[in-house]
Chain A
Amino acid sequence: MADNFETEMLTQRRQLYTTVFSQSFSPCGRFVAVCDNFGRITIFSLAASLSADAKEDSRKPVFTFQAHNGPVYTLSSTERFLISAGTGDIKAWSWADILKKSPKVQWSLSHPFNHSFDNPETNSIVITKDGTLCSGCGDNNVYLWDLQTGTCTNTLKGHTDYIHALTLRGNDQQVVSAGEDGSVRIWDLRDSREAAHILEPYKHDVCARPDQGRWIGCVAVDSGDYLLVCGGGPSLSLWHLRSMTPVVAFPTPNSCQNVVMFHEDQIMSAGSSPCVNHWSINGELRSQVPCTPPCLYSLAINTNSASYKVLSAAGSSSKVDIFTNFGYKAFSMLVC
């Protein structure tokens, strides 16, 4: 009886302090996986929650499992695998197993860290088309892995503080990393001795905000490969890649952006204020859509299935907001 009470109370408290760091849609587009600071991965069914006769129950998690011992910071999906990283190794789970509710670690990648007392975290992973996995870690390095052999093929060293975010550009030939040290570095995957370009937004008056710090928390490159957007301590800013100069700064007073993405002709960003910002390329705020979490860490658009094309936003709340029309919140799904 007392045990039951205690578990219930702990569940309730955990829910109060749940932070969802990342999301990934299943290859079929019918499910979404979210990961949180308790090391859990929770699967929701979009198909069930978006169906016409959806009830409260259909928006509850389909399945939850403990994936890591500590927070999971990033998720990524390939055709077969859901790849999670954060605390400890990078782990790959088969989507088929997960949907059968019996997840097993299919393979894992262990970072060659050489810190004895601090176990660096993995903050971001991206996977190229030709099967190279890049992981941005807490020891200031970006590691490159060959997924065929599962070996670490290269290490990109240069950041002076930990890596926040990674993104690919130029037909997956280059990787862009954003770090706590305030620099955005563009690396060539074929010649990785040093960064090809370094952007330092905190040095430019248009976007610098000394009171918020130098760190860059998010970065994205547009599909045409000529614009880059990044933000964090400095305000969100758009960079022209050929000239490597800031073009526009997006005004986000008192809010640091944690996630940014290009979508069609606009830029979507979110951070330490409870809303999703939609910007036009010229720096105009098109709309600000309110959402539940007071601070957002993840925005994702389901492109895997046309019928379940939704925007989902998650952050420091146990609720994951789903936007069917990007202009307002449709409903929330509760991680528990």
Chain B
Amino acid sequence: MASSAGKKRPMVRVSRTDSSSNLTDKDSKKPKMDSGDRQGEPASLTSEEEEAAQRDPARDVNLYKTACDGIRQLLQEIQEIRGSGRKDAAAEIAERKIQASMHFITLKKLNRLAHMRCKKARDTTHEHKQKVDSYHLQLQNLLYEVMHLQKEITKCLEFKSKDEEIELVEEAEFYKEAPEEISKPDVTQQDPHQLTLARLDWELEQRKRLAAKCKDYEDQKEEISQEIQTRRDQLDSLLPRLNTVLESTKPLQEALKMPFDEVRQQHRMAQFLPRPLYVLYVQSSAYQQACDPALTVTIEGDLDAAKSSGPSTSAALDVDSDSDDEEGTKEKSRRRRTISVDPTDRRGKVLHKHPLQVNITIKCKDGSTLALTFHYLLTLQVVTVIVQLQPVAEAITSAVSGGDLLSPSSLLGCLFPGDHGNTTPNPANQFLLERARIEDFNECVKEVGKPYVWAQQLAGLQFLNTEEVGLHDIVIIITLRVIWSTERGSVPVTRECQHLFPTKILSRLVSWKSITHDDYIVLPYCQPVVESGMVHDTDNFYVAVLQRGSATLTAAMLLSPGYLTCPPLFSLNLNMGTDHTASNDENIRAMEHEVNVHYKELLVKGSHDQLLTNQLQRLLMCLDVYLETQSNSSATEGPSEFGREKLCPRVVRGPSRCKPFVFNSQHGFFTQR
């Protein structure tokens, strides 16, 4: 074919291109290009790429070779023609040249096509390379994933379950002991997992049984300890019973004793009294015989010690009656005195009392008795008084508000203006006291009693700045006070105060007693008052117990001697299983607030006479309200101990959830302040 193409070059093209009809075009280029186009479409530069794709490269190579051969042949022919030197050589050469250039055009075209193919090949390569890259990446990902999964698998394999820590019973033992429904041998023999589960079940079962057993034992223990407790209680209750048996034998013992010849004894003792007490004794005896049979005067004390204390301090009237047979006892007592009385410190020496004392007992109309014990302090040379009051039984319960005045420590206080009995009336004592490091005589009052000025007067002791007081006046004043307090102190509130309270109050006052300053200041519920500095040791302190059902309200009271201007101050402690005080129960604080701050509402015509009684009545009322509203406000089910009897529109009010402690007497209901 190549040779044929070489022979008739234009024909070659035409023959190669099937659609030769297009060759009619003048432009030589076009037909060539068209000749390349088998479809015979009009060729354009842009479509050359398509063309390059469609054409067979092998054929193009042949075409290329043919073209080269053609050119070579034409050149050879040109050379031959030139060599022949023919006439028409120039024309032939020109024609050959044209044919050669045609071939060049073909070459050029082929070159272009070759370039395009090369580019295309490069693109394809690039494309494939990218594809390969992405596949590689994917591969990497997958590898990573595989690695991760492997790690997870290892982790899972390494996972330790909790049950592995539990010590299970041996397998053999398990099969032996566990019941069939737990061990399930048919399943578990093959499946180790089921086996473990079954063993765990068995473990649980066993533990449950042990726990139940433990509980049983604990119950038993409880039971036994309860039994022990009841037996212990039984034993404890035995002692009081034995005591009562002992008590009941006492009257018999007393009945067997012989009565004393008291008067003779008294007179003999009087001889050994120190002078001031002797004067007192003589004076009061005389007064008793002359004016007041309700008064009794006795001498008490250690006669032997008095005898031994020598004539220097004794009345030394006549000690001749000392007979020989008393010598023995005298010796004995002297020894005793050195042991018991000789003070090891100065304080004891300074406060040393004469062994004998004078007791004066005043009987009141209602049966109460007042006992005054007069002591003589040898060193200080003053007479001191200790007071004791024994009210009759009914007076204890009735003399509620008067009780403050019946207090032993204050009853005789201020009988005369300024006579508190807290300081020694003998100015000469100051030095002695200082030497004994007693800065305030008040400290010793408990040991020796109070050195009231009137007592010195009665005993004939004269100090500066004192007034003349007769025994008669003193007795009258004391008696008046006692009568005043017992009559006013009745529980029922006086008529003019009735309107302050509701008619029905269910709480009851069950006890009333006096306590000391020291007792008061350690009461936990009195601490706020103590810390506020309102407590003085000259004040009187009482504890009243109010009760309703199982609830007990303890009220500690502080009564200042100046009670006419300073009303009693209450501190409360409510016990209902637990202690409620002002510091843990706001409503107790509110109750204290009611009686301590709003006391003026309880005054009748501005008089303090009924104040304490009214305050107590107010407390009873508040306790009722507290208990009745308590059961209501708590959400506990079932009937409560304290039924609601008071009418109150609001059970609690305000942020403090205060109970209605204020009684509206006009409408008869309770409200909050």
Residues of A within 8 A of B (CB): 2, 5-6, 9-10, 12-17, 19, 21, 37, 70-71, 73, 86, 115, 117-118, 121, 123, 138, 162, 164, 180, 202, 210-215, 217, 233, 258, 272, 294-295, 297, 316
B586 touches A272 (CB 8 A): yes
Q: Which residue of A lies closest to B567 (CB)?
A: A9
Partner of B634, one of A15, A121, A213: A213
B649 touches A118 (CB 8 A): yes
B656 within 8 A of A: yes
Per-residue A-contact encoding for B592-633, CB less than 8 Å = 1, 0 else:
110011000000000000000000000000000000000001
With A6-B565, A13-B569 known to touch, is A123 a contact of B534 (CB < 8 Å)?
no
B671 touches A118 (CB 8 A): yes
Least distance between A320 CB and chain B CB atoms (Å): 16
B634 touches A17 (CB 8 A): no
Least distance between A242 CB and chain B CB atoms (Å): 29
B283 within 8 A of A: no
Q: List 8 A-B contacts (CB under 8 A).
A: A6-B565, A115-B649, A118-B650, A138-B653, A212-B634, A214-B635, A217-B655, A272-B586
Q: Give 8 closest A-B pairs by Cβ, nearest first.
A: A17-B593, A294-B583, A210-B635, A118-B649, A13-B597, A297-B655, A13-B596, A213-B635
A258 touches B655 (CB 8 A): yes
A117 touches B655 (CB 8 A): no
Tally of contact residues, B, Cβ under 8 A: 32
A215 touches B532 (CB 8 A): no
Q: Measured between alpha carbons, how far is A258 from B636 in the docked complex, in Å? A: 21
- B509-540 interface with A by 8 A CB criterion: 528-529, 532, 534
6 new A-B contacts, CB < 8 A, other than A9-B565, A123-B655, A233-B635, are A9-B566, A12-B534, A13-B534, A14-B597, A17-B596, A294-B582
Least distance between A56 CB and chain B CB atoms (Å): 16
With A118-B650, A162-B653 known to touch, is A213 a contact of B633 (CB < 8 Å)?
yes
Contacts of A295 in B (CB 8 A): 584, 586, 656
Contacts of B215 in A (CB 8 A): none
Contacts of A10 in B (CB 8 A): 597
Residues of B within 8 A of A (CB): 528-529, 532, 534, 565-566, 569, 582-584, 586, 589, 592-593, 596-597, 633-636, 649-650, 652-657, 667, 669, 671, 673
Contacts of A121 in B (CB 8 A): 653-654
Q: Which residue of A lies closest to B560 (CB)?
A: A9
Q: Measured between alpha carbons, how far is A100 from B341 in the docked complex, in Å? A: 72
Least distance between A202 CB and chain B CB atoms (Å): 7
Q: Measured between alpha carbons, how far is A164 from B658 in the docked complex, in Å? A: 13
Contacts of B566 in A (CB 8 A): 5, 9
B655 touches A17 (CB 8 A): no
Indicate the member of A19, A121, A214, A233 with the most B CB atoms within 10 Å: A19
A316 touches B633 (CB 8 A): no
Q: Measured between alpha carbons, how far is A200 from B195 in the docked complex, in Å? A: 50
Partner of A117, one of B569, B583, B592, B667: B667
Q: Which residue of B lies closest to A180 (CB)?
A: B652
Least distance between B536 CB and chain A CB atoms (Å): 13
Q: Measured between alpha carbons, how far is A254 from B34 in the docked complex, in Å? A: 109
B596 touches A16 (CB 8 A): yes
Indicate the member of B583, B584, B654, B656 with the most A CB atoms within 10 Å: B654
A164 touches B655 (CB 8 A): yes
Q: Measured between alpha carbons, how far is A138 from B568 in the docked complex, in Å? A: 34
A297 touches B656 (CB 8 A): yes
Contacts of A272 in B (CB 8 A): 584, 586
Partner of B656, one of A2, A19, A233: A19
Q: Measured between alpha carbons, how far is A295 from B587 in the docked complex, in Å? A: 11
Q: Measured between alpha carbons, how far is A9 from B597 in the docked complex, in Å? A: 10
Partner of B589, one of A9, A71, A215, A316: A316
A16 touches B528 (CB 8 A): yes
Contacts of A233 in B (CB 8 A): 635
Contacts of B584 in A (CB 8 A): 272, 294-295
Q: Measured between alpha carbons, how far is A180 from B653 in the docked complex, in Å? A: 9
Q: Measured between alpha carbons, how far is A148 from B534 in the docked complex, in Å? A: 50
Contacts of B656 in A (CB 8 A): 19, 21, 37, 295, 297, 316
Q: Measured between alpha carbons, how far is A5 from B566 in the docked complex, in Å? A: 8
Q: Measured between alpha carbons, how far is A294 from B531 in the docked complex, in Å? A: 15
Q: Which residue of B lies closest to A208 (CB)?
A: B635
Least distance between B252 CB and chain A CB atoms (Å): 56
Contacts of B569 in A (CB 8 A): 13
Contacts of A214 in B (CB 8 A): 635
Q: Which residue of A lies closest to B564 (CB)?
A: A2
Contacts of A15 in B (CB 8 A): 532
Least distance between B661 CB and chain A CB atoms (Å): 12
Contacts of A213 in B (CB 8 A): 633-635
Contacts of B636 in A (CB 8 A): 210-211
Least distance between B640 CB and chain A CB atoms (Å): 13
Q: Which residue of A lies closest to B656 (CB)?
A: A19
Q: Measured between alpha carbons, how far is A316 from B657 in the docked complex, in Å? A: 12
Q: Measured between alpha carbons, how far is A272 from B569 in the docked complex, in Å? A: 25
With A5-B565, A73-B655, A121-B653 known to touch, is A316 a contact of B534 (CB < 8 Å)?
no
Q: Which residue of A lies closest to B594 (CB)?
A: A17
Q: Which residue of A lies closest to B597 (CB)?
A: A13
Partner of B655, one of A12, A21, A202, A294: A21
Q: Measured between alpha carbons, how far is A294 from B565 in the docked complex, in Å? A: 30
Q: Measured between alpha carbons, how far is A5 from B564 in the docked complex, in Å? A: 12
Q: Which residue of A lies closest to B635 (CB)?
A: A210
Contacts of B654 in A (CB 8 A): 21, 71, 73, 86, 121, 123, 138
Contacts of B528 in A (CB 8 A): 16
Least distance between A176 CB and chain B CB atoms (Å): 17
Q: Which residue of B lies closest to A5 (CB)?
A: B565
Contacts of B534 in A (CB 8 A): 12-13
Contacts of A6 in B (CB 8 A): 565
Q: Measured between alpha carbons, how far is A15 from B534 in the docked complex, in Å? A: 12
Q: Measured between alpha carbons, how far is A86 from B584 in the docked complex, in Å? A: 24
Contacts of B671 in A (CB 8 A): 118
Contacts of A123 in B (CB 8 A): 654-655
Q: Measured between alpha carbons, how far is A86 from B565 in the docked complex, in Å? A: 33
Q: Which residue of B lies closest to A2 (CB)?
A: B565
Q: Measured between alpha carbons, how far is A217 from B569 in the docked complex, in Å? A: 32
Contacts of A2 in B (CB 8 A): 565
Q: Measured between alpha carbons, how far is A83 from B657 in the docked complex, in Å? A: 22
Least distance between B535 CB and chain A CB atoms (Å): 12
B597 touches A17 (CB 8 A): yes
Contacts of A212 in B (CB 8 A): 634
B635 touches A17 (CB 8 A): no
Indicate the member of A15, A16, A71, A164 with the most B CB atoms within 10 Å: A16
Indicate the member of B649, B652, B653, B669 with the most A CB atoms within 10 Å: B653
Least distance between A182 CB and chain B CB atoms (Å): 9
Contacts of B634 in A (CB 8 A): 210-213
Q: Measured between alpha carbons, how far is A272 from B565 in the docked complex, in Å? A: 35
Partner of B532, one of A12, A37, A115, A162: A12
Q: Measured between alpha carbons, how far is A316 from B593 in the docked complex, in Å? A: 12
Q: Measured between alpha carbons, how far is A65 from B598 in the docked complex, in Å? A: 20
Q: Measured between alpha carbons, how far is A278 from B643 in the docked complex, in Å? A: 40
A202 touches B649 (CB 8 A): no
Contacts of B653 in A (CB 8 A): 121, 138, 162
Contacts of B532 in A (CB 8 A): 12, 15-16
